[in-house]
Amino acid sequence: MRTLYSTEVAEGKRERLPRSATLDMLYVQDDVENTSGAAGESAGLIHELKSVKQIVNDTIAGFWHEIDRLAALRR
């Protein structure tokens, strides 16, 4: 995320804070301008956009697939 803090750190105008400090400032104190947060680490895992209905249906189908797979191991 490009914020005042991250820009100043990149330009050498400000010292980088310890990771735990920035996480607390961002997620506990809601200080978006003076911290840097994690963004994009999981973006590479998104391959398609799904509706909530499709996600629920896929999850249920996966559950039953695993139940069938595990049941087959008992035979």
* Spatial distance between the Cα atoms of 74 and 16, rounded to a whole number of angstroms: 56
* Spatial distance between the Cα atoms of 74 and 71, rounded to a whole number of angstroms: 5
The list of the chain residues with pLDDT below 50 reads none
Amino acid 64: pLDDT: 97
pTM of the model: 0.43
Amino acid 17: pLDDT: 79
Work out the burial of residue 3: count CB atoms within 10 Å of its CB; fewer than 13 is exposed, 13-18 middle, 19 or more buried. Answer: middle
